[in-house]
């Protein structure tokens, strides 16, 4: 771990007393992943011994707190083709996209 990595761990989320320890740890792990890493609840769960449900709950906690945004991506036929994750080092103040938003054709 280099000096920059150590500085990055002094993050806002670690000092946020409203977040659970599970959410803080998960977000720290998420920040360490490459931007091209395939962020899914299933893949995140594979990084620990916690199950999919526990990881999903932590991701929802991070969403509610403004650290994570998940945007569904749709195929041209209108089917969900994936989910795009956006991570915020400090809580996002913007209004999150509606959960079932579909792009207009």
- 4-61 pLDDT per residue, tens: 555 544 678 988 999 999 999 999 999 999 988 999 999 999 999 999 999 999 999 9
How confident is the model at residue 101, as a pLDDT?
39
Structural domains in the chain, CATH included, are: 3-87 (1.10.10.10)
pLDDT of 71-90, one tens digit each? 999 999 999 988 899 999 88
How confident is the model at residue 41, as a pLDDT?
94
How confident is the model at residue 73, as a pLDDT?
92
Number of alpha carbons in the 13 Å side-chain half-sphere of residue 15: 8
Contact 104, 87 (CB under 8 A): no
């Amino acid at each position: 771990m280099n000096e920059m990595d150590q500085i990055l761990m002094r993050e806002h989320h670690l000092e946020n007393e409203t977040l659970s320890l599970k959410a803080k740890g998960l977000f720290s792990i998420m920040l360490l992943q490459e931007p091209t890493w395939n962020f899914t609840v299933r893949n995140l769960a594979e990084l620990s011994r916690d199950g999919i449900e526990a990881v999903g709950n932590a991701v929802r906690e991070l969403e509610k707190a403004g650290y994570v945004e998940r945007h569904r991506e749709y195929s041209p036929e209108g089917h969900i083709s994936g989910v795009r994750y956006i991570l915020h080092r400090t809580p996002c103040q913007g209004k999150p996209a509606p959960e079932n938003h579909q792009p207009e054709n």
